[in-house]
Chains A and B, each alone.
Chain A
């Protein structure tokens, strides 16, 4: 395990007082697209509020602890995705964590494999982890570019901005809500983007997703840590400027 931007987290031992335990799952397979930023930003937003954070980076040859609070999966390439799914299924820790009500945030290849089924390297259907009732496969067109989407109002998360880079499409089963409705871009392929059920959330957004969308980061953090005190607005200025610029860029590109 590498030392991340928080205290080391010893799986199985009690967490420090009110510490939030973040688990970065299989970065050796699923961290090709900068999604480590989701981990860094969640940790930062917790620390800015005085919430201690403990971080475990779990490579694919290690056991996934079942006692984490927030689990993050990133995007990766085809073969690593297949390996990750196979190992996570065999390991069982992530499923156990989901069963305990842990928060799971999964991006792109990670998103696909927390579902019931996803497409293998030659398009063959492979079993996912079954944490979300979604099925993913190879689509007709690539979704590459700035994406904007409006989140279900019930979640209170501002407009999403991100960068997508995938050729997958994802179909949701009956009990699964989309994360958002696409304004510009491809997303799942049916006009919606991402999916969620309980505390499991998946999305195709890079950017990274939680960097560009602090509201989404706070939603996840709040699920894990309870009601969040506000962050000093000066610490949010740059991100707000970035969001403004990115939303304008996407609108301009799609004008």
Chain B
């Protein structure tokens, strides 16, 4: 946040709100200088204390895109922001994943002249943030189990989304291949349906409308009892290619690896189109994205090349295990269970680790014993280590993939030095 902003082309903030952004900005800078992260959340928190309507005020006069879902928010936000950057103007964004109200406030206050904003929102708060920002576009990626000790039930979340979207004027970009998302978006006034794929089916066996079984045929799904079925789509992820509403197809050719990121990219393309950014132009910008808030970052550490992957829940681990470099490349797995991770590690048993057999596996993190017992049950050989460095020293050069959940990921990044 800036203390003396240049003359803004947007409607001016009332005095109280300007004070709030000033004080918040100073606090954010102080926090950054003290080495406590990027300072965004504390600034936003203070700002909101001084002016509870700060988010609405900061959002006024801007076109806001909200990005939400269980997995892929930070990456999709980055991809959309990159695509909108092609319009040649500043785009506000909470690029480091501070996705609750204070984080959104900080992102907007930091870019007072940006007339466009792409903001990731925690899925529990989307309805409230939609109301506060009167967003122009809301993108819905997926819904699956995550941090079950803190999270509202998934069906309940979908219900709240549905209610919020039915009464809003925004354009919704929704993943038609996720039955919970499709149900949530069903009654919105303006929906762009994207066939972005869904690999994790274990939270959508049953129809969200009537509870009967959903019948699947490839990506197509329909309810066995009620009329609920997969909507007609206008964008399709087909392997490595995207098919746009005109029927034209192009290879995505992203640097970001894996199916999940291709899925995120197709949704991002649909969102960018709302702002008039064409597919070719948007893709060109998205192909420049190499890492997102540390994910997919390559770091050289003690003679070893490490690639950092974040996976926070079973659906995320399914995708991460998919993009590992092939065996015999060693893998480091790090699991914590602090409050932001979800304190219950039972979810480990919803991940199939058998594919890690036949390669060196190192296990670390605060809950390494839980992970060790899990791997033992899947007959995966592994070694427990106290740190990433200890694993690296065992490997004598070469390269390794690291999969870590939320706070473990942050800890590893802090040790390795934040590079991206």
Q: Give the chain A neighbours of B211 by CB distance below 8 A.
A: 79-80, 83
Kindly identify, within residues 174 to 225 of chain B, every residue whose CB is under 8 Å from any CB belonging to chain A.
202-203, 205-206, 211-213, 224
Q: Which residue of B lies closest to A43 (CB)?
A: B377
Q: How far is the CA of A162 from the CA of B23 in the complex (A)?
A: 45
Q: How many residues of B contact A (CB 8 A)?
A: 31
Q: Quick check: which of A30-38, A63-71, A187-195, A223-231 contacts chain B, the rest being far away?
A: A30-38
Q: Give the chain B neighbours of A78 by CB distance below 8 A.
A: 153, 155-156
Partner of B206, one of A80, A211, A242: A80
Q: How many residues of A contact B (CB 8 A)?
A: 35
Is A238 in contact with chain B by the CB < 8 A criterion? yes
Partner of B346, one of A33, A80, A242: A33
Q: How far is the CA of A27 from the CA of B344 in the complex (A)?
A: 19
Q: Give the chain A neighbours of B212 by CB distance below 8 A.
A: 61
Is B373 in contact with chain A by the CB < 8 A criterion? yes
Q: Please state if B206 and A33 are interface contacts (CB–CB under 8 Å).
A: no
Q: Please state if B206 and A28 are interface contacts (CB–CB under 8 Å).
A: yes
Q: Please state if A211 and B349 are interface contacts (CB–CB under 8 Å).
A: yes
Is A60 in contact with chain B by the CB < 8 A criterion? yes
Kindly identify, within residues 144 to 162 of chain B, every residue whose CB is under 8 Å from any CB belonging to chain A.
145, 148-149, 153-156
Q: Nearest Cβ distance between residue B217 and chain A, in whole angstroms?
A: 16
Is A21 in contact with chain B by the CB < 8 A criterion? no
Kindly identify, within residues 266 to 320 of chain B, every residue whose CB is under 8 Å from any CB belonging to chain A.
none
Q: How far is the CA of A245 from the CA of B206 in the complex (A)?
A: 38
Kindly identify, within residues 110 to 164 of chain A, every residue whose CB is under 8 Å from any CB belonging to chain B.
144-145, 163
Q: Give the chain A neighbours of B202 by CB distance below 8 A.
A: 27-28, 31
Chain B contacts to A: CB under 8 angstroms: 145, 148-149, 153-156, 202-203, 205-206, 211-213, 224, 343-350, 369-370, 372-374, 376-378
**18 residue pairs from A and B, CB less than 8 Å apart:** A28-B202, A31-B350, A33-B148, A34-B350, A35-B346, A35-B349, A36-B349, A37-B348, A40-B378, A44-B377, A61-B213, A77-B154, A79-B211, A163-B343, A206-B346, A208-B346, A235-B376, A242-B373
Chain A contacts to B: CB under 8 angstroms: 27-29, 31-37, 40-41, 44, 59-61, 77-80, 83, 144-145, 163, 165, 206-208, 211, 235, 238-239, 241-242, 245
CB-CB nearest 6 A-B residue pairs: A34-B346, A37-B349, A28-B205, A77-B153, A163-B344, A34-B349
